[in-house]
Amino acid sequence: MDIQKNTRYKKDCLGLFKRSEMGLKVFTTDFADLGKEKTFRQDVGFHYFQNNSLVQGYYYFNNLFEIQKNNKVDIENINNDFFYAEISNVSNEGDVSPVMLNFDEAEEEDLRYFKKIEKGDIIQAKEGDILLSKVRPNLKKYILINHENSKYFYTSAFIHLKPKKLNKILYYSLRTIFYEHLIAISRRGKGYPTLKEDDFLYLKFDKSIIDNLEKNNNLITSQIEEIENRIKKLKSQMRAPQKIINEVFAREFEFDENQLFEFGKGMTAGTQIAPSKKLRVFKTDFENLARSSTLRFSTRFHNPPMKKLMDFLDSMETLQVKDVVESYEQGIQPEYNADGKIPVVKIANLKNNFIDFTESEYITEEYYNNLNEIKKLKKGDIIICATGKISLGKIDYYDYKHDSITTVDNYILRLNENYNPLFFTYFFRSILGCFQVERDYTGATNQIHLYWDQISNFKIPDIPLERQEEIVDEIKKELDDQEKMKSEIEENRDKVDEIIKHYTFNLH
């Protein structure tokens, strides 16, 4: 059967013809081949992969891997602190940044983890295993389990593979030469691809490639491990941008930089690098209740670390945000268009360090041109997120020339000429800024908010513009040094990819 000519496939064929102009291929198949897959998959990518994997020899998935099912964890055996990683805790390079939890010291911000874990959403993997994200495999959130991360627990939203040989080489091969194999078997659902364990049985791997990788196993592994050690050394020198910013402000204003860790992790963005809070019992005087204009009685407002920071800020020469803001605007609820060219800055695009446009949604130029000018982002604007657990308090400087807008979840701040917008941004990433956000948000659980009346009364240092610029230059220099190390790490990761590809295309 020619897929192009069958009316049942009209929708797929139109897409195929359109895409073929960009270099994709047109092919034929028959009904017998469609029936080989038990869910009768009709997507072009899957069948193109199947048709073109019939090389002279190949290995089936089961020749190289086992899917691990017996990986569930009895939480009754978990005592004290433990580490747990969701898909969101894994980078596109496979680095894992787990959260630390403790059943006996459950904090409000960690309750969602415990609810998932108690329902069985927890697995453990052994050294040499591979975990692949079931959702959006195109993001390459794949983990090679090593000595260090084998101590962590993971969400069951990963597919758990145990290679039968060539563990490390097969891991890097799935990230490079066999990446398209994973994408081919992925299913499109809710607008993004997903992987299902049963579909792995349809994977086929070119035998000549696998045999050559195995033949050169020792050489390839030693080369990769040499690069991994260089990457590990570079990563040991890396510091979180927020820690760098906090250190500079601590030196400048003479406060203890470790107050960030004494303060502990809260519900807002700026506190996420701190450890989880422990149970606190404390006393306070009635006169302290008056420090809140709304007579707040929450322990979040009146706990000792908060009081310590408030006392320190009161001892400084300060202004209020409203004293330096020339104008502020709330973003809009845009009409998205898949054919649009103007990116929209949503909460997910704000990284509290930079704005990530790689997964943007878009509006059309016509829609953009009809908007009020004050709603359009301009270079030098400050964007602050005003809603959502963990997201609230994200703050980024818009240092871009291209057209863009932001959503209703965010405020746009434009400062007067007497205050440096980067200094303002850095300050609210330091403990002196982010604790005010944590103190004053309203709402509970995931529905937390920050309003302009609260933001406008936040305190900021009252220092000369020249000194602000000197502090900005100092922070930027240190952050630039970190970026250079990140680039060096990326270059080394690229070398690993090149090694795998070299032994793929040089089979003799």
d(CA 64, CA 71): 19
**pLDDT digits over 159-177, tens only?**
999 999 999 999 999 999 9
Place of tokens 């008056």: 290
Confidence of residue 305 (pLDDT cuts 50, 70, 90): confident
Place of tokens 């890396």: 238
Residue 325 is inside which H or E element, if any?
A: strand 325-330
pLDDT at 62: 97
Place of tokens 């959702």: 135
d(CA 392, CA 437): 8
d(CA 234, CA 230): 6
Contact by Cβ (8 Å): 67, 161? yes
In the chain, % helix, strand, coil (3-state, to 5) comes to 45, 20, 40
Give bridge partners of residue 143 from the DSSP assignment. 131
pLDDT at 329: 97
pTM: 0.75
Domains of the chain, each with CATH number or no CATH: 7-52 (no CATH), 65-204 (3.90.220.20), 255-463 (3.90.220.20)
Task: Tokens for 26, please give them.
Answer: 């047109």
Q: Could you tell me the sign of the dihedral formed by the alpha carbons of 156, 158, 164, 166, in that order?
A: negative
d(CA 196, CA 43): 15
- Residue closest to 150 by CA, chosen among 164, 162, 165, 166: 162
Residue 189 is inside which H or E element, if any?
A: strand 187-189
**pLDDT digits over 62-117, tens only?**
999 999 999 999 999 998 999 999 999 999 999 999 988 999 887 766 888 999 99
